[in-house]
Amino acid sequence: EDQVTQSPEALRLQEGESSSLNCSYTVSGLRGLFWYRQDPGKGPEFLFTLYSAGEEKEKERLKATLTKKESFLHITAPKPEDSATYLCAVQDPDSGYALNFGKGTSLLVTP
């Protein structure tokens, strides 16, 4: 059973059209939930870490939120340069410090 499920798999937005990406997780005790951005052929770039339900973090047009079962990455007024794959990962006590990743959401923002 997948521990991390991201939806949608792909999302196409017009520039300025706000939306949210979802990351649902099934772990017994969350150590941390991480959001990364990955451009094609590159390594993931760290965006946010969230540790407890109710926590929120913001960076430019991105805002990450966390509940007990899922996290959302809200993108406000996106620009074409926000196009990338967004990966969500969790750390849980059973996996120590390993990151368990979802498959990612591929975001395309058109002008």
Partner 1 sequence: DAGVTQSPTHLIKTRGQQVTLRCSPKSGHDTVSWYQQALGQGPQFIFQYYEEEERQRGNFPDRFSGHQFPNYSSELNVNALLLGDSALYLCASSLGQPGLILGGTQYFGPGTRLTVL
Return residues touching partner 1 (CB under 8 A).
4, 31-32, 34, 36, 41-46, 49, 51, 87, 89, 91, 95-104
Strand segments (E) across 1-111: 4-7, 10-14, 19-25, 32-38, 45-50, 56-59, 62-66, 70-75, 84-91, 100-101, 105-110
Specify the residue, 43 or 111, whose C-beta has the smaller distance to partner 1: 43
| Count of CA atoms in the C-beta half-sphere (13 A) of 30 | 21
Give me the least distance between CB of 93 and partner 1, in Å please. Answer: 9
Specify the residue, 3 or 76, whose C-beta has the smaller distance to partner 1: 3
Alpha-carbon distance 12 to 4, whole Å? 22
Give me the least distance between CB of 3 and partner 1, in Å please. Answer: 11
Specify the residue, 75 or 87, whose C-beta has the smaller distance to partner 1: 87
